[in-house]
Structure 1
């Protein structure tokens, strides 16, 4: 069964609301390919609630982060739990990308091109990580997860500027910071296959954060705002200025962070 509309916005919403994992992946690939083939148009948008529930399977169970299993790599279960946690992030990133498409109808066409690329890459990341789980006899859904990414999507739903600042340029940028350390942990136990997957993810996630930077700056320019000041005001309002270090400076530079921003982020780290 193919997609049932010529509207990118409606197709994106169908992908977002799809609950079964494989159906979401299938619809995502169909919709992305239809957009790239010129078969979908920027029309037919209808508003939706900020609290729209993202489509997801019944498993994994969503719990408070404090109840998540230990992810130490000294055991096979710990190794699989960590891979599962990353796979859960990538699954949520598929929903986040589709929400960025279907929620904001007044952006330039290039914006939708960028987020279609993101969602295609997030699907690829999820598939790679699911293969690593299956190689260990596990499946996505076997371990609990948390809902922090989607909760931030709901908090930022009312404004694409805030969404770009706090999802790509804050949450996903944090992924750039922590991934090298995670790769070293897998390398230390000889799991070179997972390291290779994480190398792909890190490289492509730099591009995703860069898209966030691009459209954050675009929206700031549209509103006559200073991007750096707007960004740090949002960090203060939403996070009380709490930033974790170390920062991956090179990856963040490639993703559109200025030296001044990096210096200010380091200063916030130093206050912890």
Structure 2
């Protein structure tokens, strides 16, 4: 029987987007059926396989994205979203495979489910990109997202604090405004995609917050102060308002958590 860690490592080793999406969905189905052995001997790769043809740049070297309703601006927007969702597949898979052995089945199941959601999001966005005459890999993308995963690879609490509770939570703040701009431009289909992603991301952030708090309780750490300490140490950016306080609260992130470090 294939172990859960082996199945995750295999999905992480795929650079072709369609193959990774297919493998992630198959992994999620196998997990739900109980077809994967609970074994974490297989080590996770240092970083996931590269996407063929995708140029990765440092964030500071990324071209400025145009605003407005032109097709070029729309392609740039949807390509950046495709990249975020594609990397999110790897982030969720690596979370489950790297830290599953020290956590529990709920943790592994939650992040495998997150990976399957992110694969679905990527598929929706890639379809949208192709309707605009582009595809994932047709534009450069920044390599900052995986950097956060690399720097927290040794500590599950740090990974939970930075990835779902900072990076994904930022999506809760910015997605509603993007959705409204699309509606103003007459792109109701694109707005529906963003609404679906927003609804799912609330659950994803909630999973991260829940497991972070449980981990803190087991270790005797106060969740709020420990989160602030980890974010100050590992997160290179800054938490900038405005915040979507209602969505964050629904995801288990009350304002007391992040107001002090914003």
TM-score category of the 2 structures, normalised to the smaller one: over 0.9
Indicate yes or no: 2:258 matched with 1:258. no
Aligned to 1:146: 142
2:14 to 15, 18, 24: 18
Unaligned runs of 5+ in 1: none
C-alpha distance in 2 between matches for 1:258 and 1:217: 13
Indicate yes or no: 2:97 matched with 1:102. yes
1:60 to 42, 51, 54: 54
Change (3 A) 1:79 1:48: closer
TM-score (norm 1): 0.91
User: Deviations along 1:41-68, whole A, 9 cap, x unmatched?
Assistant: 211523446xx12123123210122332
In the TM superposition, 1:169-188 aligns within 5 A as: 169-188=165-184
Change (3 A) 1:103 1:267: closer
TM-score (norm 2): 0.94
C-alpha distance in 2 between matches for 1:112 and 1:44: 11
Does structure 1 conserve the Cα–Cα contact (< 8 Å) formed by 2:4 and 2:36? yes
Indicate yes or no: 2:236 matched with 1:236. no
Q: How far off its partner does 1:6 sit?
A: 1.5
C-alpha distance in 1 between matches for 2:48 and 2:58: 18
In the TM superposition, 1:1-272 aligns within 5 A as: 6-48=2-44, 52-69=46-63, 70-104=65-99, 105-239=101-235, 242-261=238-257, 265-269=258-262
Q: How far off its partner does 1:222 sit?
A: 1.3
Unaligned runs of 5+ in 2: none
- Comparing 176-185 and 239-248, the one that deviates more: 239-248
Q: How far off its partner does 1:40 sit?
A: 0.5
C-alpha distance in 1 between matches for 2:2 and 2:86: 25
Aligned-partner SS, 1:158: coil
Does structure 2 conserve the Cα–Cα contact (< 8 Å) formed by 1:235 and 1:241? no
Does structure 2 conserve the Cα–Cα contact (< 8 Å) formed by 1:21 and 1:56? no
Does structure 1 conserve the Cα–Cα contact (< 8 Å) formed by 2:228 and 2:261? no
Does structure 1 conserve the Cα–Cα contact (< 8 Å) formed by 2:152 and 2:234? no
User: Deviations along 1:181-219, whole A, 9 cap, x unmatched?
Assistant: 111221221111110000000000000000000110111
- Comparing 20-29 and 243-252, the one that deviates more: 20-29
